[in-house]
């Protein structure tokens, strides 16, 4: 069965969806609406039917799914309009600017009985899938801290991302992906949110943030995004009660270290280390540690659309569910409140 996609906003990401669609059997992009003449021209050259009026696009366009990939502040407006025109909607992240906008979108999907989901494509990132698999398999035991970081060096926020009115800033931009990854991996309620936002090089919005989530079991997750970190920290760093994991970057270099089965006879005397005399921080004998490679994972962003099509054909549950999208948005709102109030927010999300 063939499904057709119409795109609202044929910029960097909208055109990426078009290019990527060839990897999804049964999906064909047919039409585009944009307000920029140059972007419409690019879509036309790519073989798509173009529209300069959104009503024409929704009434005459030959598609059953609409992708909304405009700047963030227009997501709700177009998504609701498309759902009221009885189209299924895939919305780019961040789904909306707040819970109240999101609830209007969810209501539109219910009232029109159409699909409404979000392109949380980073659920299929290889680095993330590796960490998720290690934790799900219990390879290093029970985690007590999970650190997820993305560090850039350029100190630049491109175009509308630098402006508050457009829903700019890193908590909305990268934060939303990383919160979604964390909540999709740790199946527990979030009980506390603490967040600090900085505007290091971008005056209007956050270009660095640090977000700490405490889960019900006590597990602590730290999510950090910086656009001006000239020395980068690893993408993932996890500590659990039987080992640790580092995934350095998106190329998925890294390793797992586990405590070996050898029973250690601890050195009773203080150890003279380069850092001074210490027992607690003295290096562990090498033979008491076991270094393991990261598991091999294959994962493709195209799987996102494969699931959307399978859902529309009644073959699978939708992967990115409205209840999950709402939880992520609740964490974002709690993050903004925490930064504003300079205190952590107790919650049950």
Q: Which residues bind ligand NAD (CB under 6 A)?
A: 8-14, 34-36, 39, 69-72, 74, 92-93, 119, 121, 159-160, 173
Residue 124 has φ and ψ, to the nearest 5°, of -105, 10
- DSSP one-letter code for 175: I
Minimum separation from the CB atom of position 173 to ligand NAD (A): 6
At a CB cut-off of 8 Å and minimum separation 6, what does 175 contact?
Answer: 209, 211, 223, 225, 332, 335
Provide the b/e sequence for 279-317 (b: ≥16 CB within 10 Å). Answer: eeebeeeeeeeeeeebeebeeebbbbbbbbbbbbeeeee
Q: Which is nearer to ligand NAD, 74 or 228 (CB)?
A: 74
**Would you say 284 or 321 has its CB closer to ligand NAD?**
321
Token readout for 84 is 């009221």
* Residue among 147 and 173 whose Cβ is closer to ligand NAD: 173
Q: What is the closest distance, in whole angstroms, from the C-beta atom of residue 12 to ligand NAD in the complex?
A: 3
CB of 118 to ligand NAD, least distance (A): 9
Pick the closer one to ligand NAD by CB: 76 or 119. Answer: 119
Report whether 238 contacts 186 (CB < 8 A).
no
For tokens 């993408």, the residue is: 235
93 or 149: whose CB is closer to ligand NAD?
A: 93
**Cβ at position 91, least distance to ligand NAD in Å:** 8
29 bridge partner residues: 5
Shortest distance, position 206 Cβ to ligand NAD, whole Å: 14
Shortest distance, CB of residue 128 to ligand NAD, whole angstroms? 13
Q: What are the b/e assignments for 109-124, b being 16+ CB within 10 Å?
A: beebebbbbbbbbbbb
In this chain, which residue has its C-beta nearest to ligand NAD?
A: 11
Q: Which is nearer to ligand NAD, 170 or 256 (CB)?
A: 170
Whether a cis peptide bond, with omega within 30° of 0, leads into 94 is yes
């Amino acid at each position: 069965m063939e499904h057709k996609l119409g795109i609202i906003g044929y910029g960097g990401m909208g055109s990426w969806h078009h290019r990527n669609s060839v990897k999804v059997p049964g999906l064909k992009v047919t039409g585009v609406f944009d307000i920029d003449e140059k972007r419409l021209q690019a879509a036309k050259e790519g073989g798509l039917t173009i529209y300069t009026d959104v009503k024409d696009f929704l009434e005459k366009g030959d598609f059953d799914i609409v992708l909304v990939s405009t700047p963030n502040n227009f997501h709700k407006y177009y998504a609701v309009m498309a759902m009221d025109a009885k189209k299924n909607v895939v919305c780019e992240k961040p789904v909306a600017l707040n819970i109240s906008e999101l609830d209007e979108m969810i209501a539109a999907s219910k009232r029109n009985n159409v699909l409404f989901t979000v392109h949380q494509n980073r659920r299929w990132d290889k680095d993330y899938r590796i960490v998720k698999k290690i934790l799900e398999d219990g390879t290093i035991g029970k985690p007590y801290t999970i650190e997820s970081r993305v560090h850039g060096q350029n100190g630049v926020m491109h175009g509308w991302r630098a402006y508050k009115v457009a829903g700019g800033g890193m908590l909305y931009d990268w934060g939303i992906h990383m919160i979604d990854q964390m909540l999709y991996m740790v199946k527990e309620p979030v009980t506390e949110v603490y967040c600090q936002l900085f505007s290091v090089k971008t005056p209007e919005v956050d270009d660095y943030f640090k977000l700490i989530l405490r889960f019900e079991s006590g597990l602590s997750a730290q999510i950090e995004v910086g656009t001006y970190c000239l020395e980068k920290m690893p993408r993932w760093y996890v500590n659990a009660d039987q080992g640790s994991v580092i995934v350095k970057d998106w190329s998925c270099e890294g390793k797992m270290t586990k405590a070996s089965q050898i029973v250690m006879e601890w050195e009773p005397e203080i150890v003279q280390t380069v850092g001074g005399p210490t027992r607690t921080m003295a290096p562990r004998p090498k033979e008491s540690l076991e270094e393991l490679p990261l598991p091999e994972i294959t994962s493709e962003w195209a799987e996102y659309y494969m699931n959307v099509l399978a859902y529309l054909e009644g073959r699978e549950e939708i992967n990115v569910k409205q209840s999950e999208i709402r939880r992520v948005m609740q964490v974002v709102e709690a993050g903004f409140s925490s930064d504003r109030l300079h205190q952590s927010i107790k919650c049950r999300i």
